[in-house]
Amino acid sequence: MRTHSGHRNNACMLAVVISLLLSTACAHDPRANPSADDARSFVEAANARLEALGVRAARAEWVKANFITVDTEALAAEAYENYIAASVELAKQAAQFNGVETDAETRRQLELLKRAITMPAPSDRALTQELTQIAAGMDSNYGKAQYCPEGAEGEDCLDIIEIRAITAESRDPAALLDVWIGWRTTSPAIRDDYRRFVELTNQGAQELGYPDTGALWRSNYDMSPDAFAAEVDRLWQQVLPLYESLHCYVRAKLAEFYGEDQVPLDQPIPAHLLGNMWAQDWTNIYDLVAPDDADPGYDLTALVQKAGYDPLGMVRSGENFFSSIGFEPLPDSFWERSLFTKPQDREVVCHASAWDVEDGDDLRIKMCIEVNAEDFQTIHHELGHNYYQRAYKDQPYLFRGSANDGFHEAIGDAIALSVTPAYLVELGLLDAEPPPSKDVGLLLRDALGKVAFLPFGILVDQWRWGVFSGEIPADAYNAGWWALREKYQGIRPPDERGEDLFDPGAKYHIPGNTPYSRYFLAAILQFQFHRAMCEIAGHEGPLNRCTIYGSKEAGRRLNEMLEMGMSRPWPDALEALTGEREADATAIRDYFAPLQAWLDEKNASRSCGW
């Protein structure tokens, strides 16, 4: 079951199935003294079983996404249950080979089987059932949550989609404060459930040999849990000066617009004024902070429309990008089976996603493409997933995935970084590149999304690691959350937030039990990949102006990494492309160097920091 980029399977289904099965998956007859040959046979059988179930689940999910009915949802859920059931059963069975000396490839596949569990449950059946009910309840609470302003009921209540729209578009601080507080009235109901959830998953993790659930999650990065935590902090320190410059500038511009009584220049930024319900992406306030000469000199939407692109032509252009760097064209089945436009006769899931339905040979994307700049870039991103999926198709099934859970999104994003004015000139969409003076507006808009996200990408799991370890006790959940948000993001709540509240639960990934560090890693790695490929392509000049379009050598090195899939520790894969064995956040500093110089000039007379 391999889909990527924006396609989220039902997290509650995953949690429930895993917790149900962890207590029963040991109903096998392990060998008393298993051998290396037994381990290899087990892994071979596991690959075959999971591949067959994965294809069935992917087909069922594809049909559900393209023909949304009660029946297709039920069939997809059943197929996915069967896949997850087998995964958990095999993960438990793999433990019988813990003490067996075998070859490195077999050992890696055994470890990957075991580490795939994100919600370990206790072996006691009653506790497992309790955990199942808690997981389902938290997910359901989030899915049904609405904020009903005073006097409102029924259709006048607001769901998260409507609240996000208000947060993005309104410039009325009272309205922003109202929906910010209102959404967070929906999460205290799960606070006690989450405390019990932590206790039960920790017990399950300890039965698997880990100190707590957070340590289990951090063990999934080819290094010790403590080493991974230190690695995340090292990367953050590398990028912190850029974030501090952006924070200082944005705070000053918000103070100009809202007044210093609303945004004091010596304090963290109030969280409700940043254009996003969780202040994790500040792109929606670009109009408030954009420089006077923000016009980049061209409008990509106008360019693709003037050139007569239709949705299929947009995808052909993306394929041409990969062909230019040496990749084989997409198979005919891709064009026959993908969804490119919204059908008129039925409802479909339009959110863009990339699919590997079978063996890397049945690749598809699913998008309701519109001829505009956003979808032009998104297509390049989604195809990055497809080419990655095809590159590792000859690996054993357990190795068909990205080197770590940040790589897949990083590849898609790195390809999208090559959609530059230079690339548009190559396509004939632009006559000439705009001068470098036009870059600041584009870079600032990008930074409001990519750079502003970085501290949030860290702190979600930092909070959970502290909760799982006991460093953040149950009577300090909210205090711990806001301490981290101030430490990393330099933001503060707009009102008093006591321990009767549960603000972490207002972010889906907490009740949905979805690890978050992958998003931080992807945000870092995409720039490291981009910088390496630009160097290989012989690019000279600012990194933000580089496209690898037409560089066969950059494509060869990229494919060399992609073909490895999960077969080797991720530093090996990183080295294949970049020549480096450590993640390096200086690449994002290099990319945004012109912006940081501009920000520092604007901030010269300001007192920065929080």
* Positions marked catalytic: 351-352, 381-382, 385, 409, 509, 519
CA distances from 105 to 101, 398, 605 (A): 12, 11, 58
DSSP states of 101-156: ---HHHHHHHHHHHHT-SS---SSHHHHHHHHHHHHHHHHHHHH--B--TT--GGG
**Contact present, 7 and 63 (Cβ < 8 Å):** no
Structure tokens that stand for 290 in this block: 């954009």
**How many CB atoms are closer than 10 A to CB 601?**
8
Distance CA 490, CA 266 (A): 11
Per 3-state DSSP, the chain is made up of helix, strand and coil in percentages (nearest 5) of: 60, 5, 35
**Contact present, 112 and 222 (Cβ < 8 Å):** no
Ramachandran angles phi, psi of 488, nearest 5°: -90, -45
Distance CA 152, CA 130 (A): 35
Q: Which residue has the tokens 């995964």?
A: 87
Distance CA 520, CA 57 (A): 29
Q: How far is CA 268 from the centre of its chain?
A: 26
CA distances from 90 to 84, 117, 121, 178, 515 (A): 10, 11, 15, 49, 22
CA distances from 52 to 56, 270, 316 (A): 7, 51, 31
Q: Is 364 left (phi over 0), alpha (psi -120 to 50) or beta?
A: beta
Structure tokens that stand for 520 in this block: 């931080």
Could you list the beta-strand ranges (E) of 228-317.
269-270
Which of 411, 409, 435, 410 lies closest to 422, judged by CA? 435
**Contact present, 521 and 588 (Cβ < 8 Å):** no
**Contact present, 509 and 489 (Cβ < 8 Å):** no
Q: How far is CA 100 from the centre of its chain?
A: 35
**Contact present, 75 and 63 (Cβ < 8 Å):** yes
Q: Which residue has the tokens 């995340």?
A: 232
Question: Which amino acid is residue 17, in one-letter code?
Answer: V
Paired sense of beta strands 363-366 and 353-356, if any? antiparallel
Own/partner pairs, 262-266, CB within 8 angstroms, 24+ separation: 262/173, 265/606, 265/607, 266/607
Distance CA 552, CA 565 (A): 21
Q: Is the dihedral of CA 30, 33, 37, 43 positive or negative?
A: positive
Which of 450, 474, 591, 493 lies closest to 534, judged by CA? 591
